[in-house]
């Protein structure tokens, strides 16, 4: 299958600290690609650089367009969307109003489908700051999916969710990838979520790519066990 | 964009027609016309001055409402409007009407360009930059005597007629009262339409979470600068009316104290409703006038009164009205969001 998003030699330094060092990654449509690693491995930094939130070096190609030098708004309009580690919504606006706003410029307004998918009917006319955290997370995800982007970068979407909400999230992610043919890059610490939804895993350690492969192979790889637990025993 | 099995369906709803607000605007306009017919020149003069100053508060309050930015330099556009009137009639050039019509768009455009720079800053940095810009204009007005008359100020040489109307009317309390109120209502309606538009909602979204707005595909800086420009344009209308009514302009209109007064009026009125800063300006102006007539210690009393009001109603007078309306609707007043979350 042809990669939809190609990231080549992505690097990022903060002063003398190399947060990312020459990471390559390809993401295919209809698949969920997990990006895991210990704290400080550079997972969120990778998403930040690829989405244009942070300036880094390397090449990012979406489809056949080099988007490396484009600002975030242009990347979004070309089909690269993302969510954030912390819920990023518009607290004082109603859920309806912010979804409408997100849909203003898109060719295909899919907000009603998203409301169905995430069961947001009951809170459509509530202010976002007044709904539960789990619902805010879903609104956040819905905002990222308005217009159905081609690539979706998710930075710890299950953080702070209850077990039940987390389970629903995995179902949603699978549906997004399979039904909508979206290429998903998922950064997540919850390994249950990772192993349930990911088709392929990439492991980062101190800014470098450690290993990439199918989840089962990655799970049993001695280098990964060493990185996570400090021992292969 | 991608997606294969998509059925496009929207959640859009048609917006409610604001009949109550339209009735309110018409009622205020008619009340103003009736008031202008009465033989109460002193009260009319005070009201005309209060309405002129309310443009300053309106501009500042609108900026707070739409962006969350607090400006300490709105005396700048107010003063530019006033000096613009004086200079428009003082020398050779296009017809006075043309010059007059260019002032407000000119100030708005100028501050839009300024906004492209100052909008890079937030919070105290933005406030201090606006203060510096305002003080810069004050110093310029004081130093360039040949143009501005320096600290002595400059008289406004009103032509006899403007737009076919006699200009005497502009310097009479009842005439200026009608003019100022008319412009105020026009600006109010314009801003309400803007708020209800896509761009207005986007501005609120940017105020709430600019980063998310950018990652939804929107460019944000130009719109923030445009709102800054519009708010300064509103203040400049007050300056134009001030110049026309007073017939004299001095650097006093550019002082940081002028900006501070406008800010106090805006905060006193609050930004819960668009009309908050206007009411704040009128209440502040009349309270100050009454106190200065009756006591030498008016500043202390005014300060204490403002502290009490802000403690009782942190969101200003319009915030107090909002609480009152909510209490009338629910019987017990609005429940804070935090409590609602706990209850859920």
Domain of A3, CATH number, reads 3.40.50.300
Query: Inter-chain contact A93–B204, Cβ cutoff 8 Å?
Result: yes
Query: Inter-chain contact B8–A100, Cβ cutoff 8 Å?
Result: no
Residue B182 lies in a domain: yes
Domain boundary among A131, A148, A165: A148
Closest by Cα among A53, A93, A78, A96 to A147: A78
Query: Inter-chain contact B2–A148, Cβ cutoff 8 Å?
Result: yes
Cβ neighbourhood burial of A105 (10 Å; 0-12, 13-18, 19+): middle
Residue that wins the pLDDT comparison between B12 and B128: B128
Domain boundary among A129, A148, A167: A148
Contacts of A134 (CB under 8 A, 6+ apart): A161, A162, A165
Query: Do residues A142 and A154 both lie within one domain?
Result: no
Query: Do residues A130 and A225 both lie within one domain?
Result: no
Query: Do residues A11 and A65 both lie within one domain?
Result: yes
How far is Cα B260 from Cα B256, in angstroms, rounded to an integer?
A: 6
Question: First vs last Cα of chain A: how many Å apart?
Answer: 37
Is A102's Cβ below 8 Å from some Cβ in B? yes
Nearest residue in chain B measured CA to CA from A77 = B217
Nearest residue in chain B measured CA to CA from A73 = B217
Q: How far is A148 from chain B (nearest CA, A)?
A: 6
Number of domains in chain B: 1
Residue B189 lies in a domain: yes
| Contact assessment for residue A225 and residue A219, using Cβ atoms and an 8 Å cutoff | no
How far is Cα A232 from Cα A69, in angstroms, rounded to an integer?
A: 41
Residue B93 lies in a domain: yes
Q: How confident is the model at residue B3 (pLDDT cuts 50, 70, 90)?
A: very low
DSSP-derived 3-state class of residue A35: strand
Query: Do residues A92 and A67 both lie within one domain?
Result: no
Q: How confident is the model at residue B5 (pLDDT cuts 50, 70, 90)?
A: very low
How far is Cα B310 from Cα B21, in angstroms, rounded to an integer?
A: 26
- Going residue by residue through chain A, which has 233 residues, state the pLDDT in tens, using 9 for 90 and above: 688 999 999 999 998 889 999 999 999 999 999 999 988 899 999 999 999 999 999 999 999 999 999 999 999 999 999 999 889 999 999 999 999 999 988 877 889 989 998 889 999 999 999 999 889 999 999 999 999 899 999 999 888 888 888 888 888 899 889 888 999 999 998 888 899 999 999 999 889 999 899 988 888 888 888 777 665 54
Summarize the confidence of residues B175-197 as an average pLDDT.
94
pLDDT value of position A229: 63
pLDDT value of position B114: 96
Residue B231 lies in a domain: yes
Q: How far is A179 from chain B (nearest CA, A)?
A: 7
Structure tokens at B326: 């909510």
Among the partner-chain residues B6, B214, B215, the one whose CB lies closest to the CB of A148 is B6
**What is the phi/psi pair of residue A202, to 5°?**
-120, 135
pLDDT value of position A226: 78
**Residue B342 confidence (pLDDT) above 50:** no
Query: Do residues A128 and A211 both lie within one domain?
Result: no
**Residue B16 confidence (pLDDT) above 80:** no
How far is Cα A166 from Cα B142, in angstroms, rounded to an integer?
A: 65
Q: How confident is the model at residue B12 (pLDDT cuts 50, 70, 90)?
A: low
Query: Inter-chain contact A148–B198, Cβ cutoff 8 Å?
Result: no
Count of CB atoms situated within 10 Å of the CB of A2? 9
Query: Inter-chain contact B6–A150, Cβ cutoff 8 Å?
Result: no
How far is Cα A142 from Cα A121, in angstroms, rounded to an integer?
A: 13
Is A130's Cβ below 8 Å from some Cβ in B? yes
| Contact assessment for residue A60 and residue A50, using Cβ atoms and an 8 Å cutoff | yes
**Residue B344 confidence (pLDDT) above 60:** no
Range of the domain at A205: 1-79+149-233
Residue B341 lies in a domain: no
Query: Do residues A97 and A167 both lie within one domain?
Result: no
Q: How confident is the model at residue B11 (pLDDT cuts 50, 70, 90)?
A: low
Structure tokens at A164: 């039940």
Could you tell me the pTM of the whole model? 0.83
**What is the phi/psi pair of residue B53, to 5°?**
-65, -25
* pLDDT tens-digit readout, B249-271: 999 999 999 999 999 999 999 98
Nearest residue in chain A measured CA to CA from B13 = A96
Q: Which residues 157-216 of A are in CB contact (within 8 Å) with B?
A: 179-182
In B296-340 the beta strands, taken as DSSP E runs, fall at: none
How far is Cα A73 from Cα A76, in angstroms, rounded to an integer?
A: 5
Query: Inter-chain contact B10–A112, Cβ cutoff 8 Å?
Result: yes
Among the partner-chain residues B3, B216, B341, the one whose CB lies closest to the CB of A76 is B216
Q: How confident is the model at residue B323 (pLDDT cuts 50, 70, 90)?
A: confident
**What is the phi/psi pair of residue A82, to 5°?**
-155, 160
Among the partner-chain residues B1, B5, B8, the one whose CB lies closest to the CB of A149 is B1
Summary mean pLDDT of chain B: 88
Residue B6 lies in a domain: no
Which residues in chain A are contacts of B13 at CB distance < 8 A? 96
Domain boundary among A130, A148, A166: A148
Query: In angstroms, how far apart are the furthest CA atoms of chain A?
Result: 55
Number of domains in chain A: 2
Q: What percent of chain B has pLDDT over 70?
A: 91
Size of interface A-B (CB pairs under 8 A): 124
Summarize the confidence of residues B179-185 as an average pLDDT.
95
Closest by Cα among B130, B109, B104 to B187: B104
Residue B96 lies in a domain: yes
- Quick one: how many helices (H) and strands (E) in chain A? 9, 10
Asked whether this complex has an ipTM greater than 0.85, the answer is: yes
Structure tokens at B277: 């800063």
Residue that wins the pLDDT comparison between A174 and B272: A174
Residue B245 lies in a domain: yes
How far is Cα A125 from Cα B17, in angstroms, rounded to an integer?
A: 17
Handedness of CA B166, B45, B135, B118 (dihedral sign): negative
Structure tokens at A146: 């308005």
Query: Do residues A70 and A144 both lie within one domain?
Result: no
Residue that wins the pLDDT comparison between B342 and A37: A37
Query: Do residues A136 and A167 both lie within one domain?
Result: no
Lowest mean pLDDT among A50-54, B1-5, B166-170, B218-222: B1-5
Range of the domain at B68: 26-254
Query: Do residues A213 and A157 both lie within one domain?
Result: yes
**Residue B51 confidence (pLDDT) above 90:** yes
Query: Do residues A213 and A137 both lie within one domain?
Result: no
Lowest mean pLDDT among A162-166, B4-8, B38-42, B280-284: B4-8
Q: How confident is the model at residue B9 (pLDDT cuts 50, 70, 90)?
A: low
Query: Do residues A28 and A135 both lie within one domain?
Result: no
């Amino acid at each position: 299958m042809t990669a939809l998003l190609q990231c080549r030699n992505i690097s990022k330094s903060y002063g003398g600290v190399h947060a990312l060092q020459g990471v390559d990654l390809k993401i295919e449509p209809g698949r969920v690609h997990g990006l895991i690693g210990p704290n400080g491995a550079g997972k969120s930094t990778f998403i930040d650089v690829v989405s244009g939130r942070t300036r880094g070096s390397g090449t990012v190609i979406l489809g056949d367009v080099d988007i490396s030098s484009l600002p975030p708004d242009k990347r979004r309009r070309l089909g690269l969307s993302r969510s954030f580690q912390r819920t990023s919504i518009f607290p004082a606006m109603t859920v309806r109003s912010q979804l409408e706003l997100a849909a203003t410029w898109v060719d295909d307004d899919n907000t009603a489908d998203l409301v169905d998918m995430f069961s947001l009917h009951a809170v459509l006319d509530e202010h976002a700051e007044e709904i539960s955290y789990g619902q805010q997370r879903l609104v956040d995800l819905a905002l990222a999916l308005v217009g159905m982007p081609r690539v979706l970068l998710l930075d710890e979407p299950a953080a702070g969710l209850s077990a039940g909400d987390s389970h629903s999230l995995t179902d949603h992610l699978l549906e997004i990838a399979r039904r909508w043919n979206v290429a998903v890059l998922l950064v997540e610490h919850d390994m249950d979520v990772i192993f349930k939804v990911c088709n392929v895993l990439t492991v980062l350690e101190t800014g470098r790519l450690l290993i990439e492969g199918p989840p089962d192979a990655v799970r049993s790889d001695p280098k990964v066990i060493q990185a996570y637990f400090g021992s292969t025993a | 964009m991608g997606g294969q099995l998509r059925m496009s369906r929207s959640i859009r709803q048609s917006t409610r027609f604001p009949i109550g607000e339209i009735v309110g605007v018409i009622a205020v306009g008619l009340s103003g016309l009736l008031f202008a017919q009465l033989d109460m020149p002193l009260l009319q003069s005070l009201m005309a001055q209060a309405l002129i100053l309310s443009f300053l508060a309106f501009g500042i309050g609108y900026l707070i409402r739409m962006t969350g930015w607090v400006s300490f330099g709105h005396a700048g556009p107010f003063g530019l409007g006033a000096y613009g009137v004086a200079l428009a009639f003082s020398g050779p050039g296009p017809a006075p009407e043309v010059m007059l019509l260019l002032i407000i768009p000119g100030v708005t455009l100028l501050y839009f360009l300024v906004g492209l720079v100052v909008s890079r800053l937030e919070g105290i940095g933005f406030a201090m930059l606006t203060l510096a810009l305002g003080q810069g204009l004050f110093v310029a007005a004081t130093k360039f005597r040949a143009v501005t008359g320096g600290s002595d100020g400059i008289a406004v040489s009103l032509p006899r007629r403007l737009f076919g109307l006699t200009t005497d009317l502009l310097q009479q309390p009842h005439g200026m009262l009608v003019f100022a109120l008319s412009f105020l209502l026009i600006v109010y309606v314009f801003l309400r339409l803007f708020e209800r538009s896509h761009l207005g909602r986007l501005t609120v979204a940017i105020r709430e979470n600019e980063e998310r707005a950018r990652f939804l595909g929107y460019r944000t800086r130009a719109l923030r600068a445009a709102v800054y420009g519009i708010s300064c344009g509103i203040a400049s209308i007050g300056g134009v009316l001030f110049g026309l009514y007073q017939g004299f302009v001095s650097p006093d209109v550019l002082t940081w104290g002028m900006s501070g007064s406008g800010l106090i009026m805006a905060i006193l009125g609050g930004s819960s409703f668009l009309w908050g800063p206007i009411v704040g300006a009128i209440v502040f102006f009349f309270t100050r006038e009454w106190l200065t007539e009756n006591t030498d210690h008016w500043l202390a009393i005014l300060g204490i009164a403002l502290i009490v009001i802000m403690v009782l109603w942190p969101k200003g007078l319009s915030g107090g009205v909002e609480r009152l309306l909510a209490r009338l609707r629910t019987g017990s007043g609005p429940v804070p969001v935090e409590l609602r979350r706990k209850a859920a």
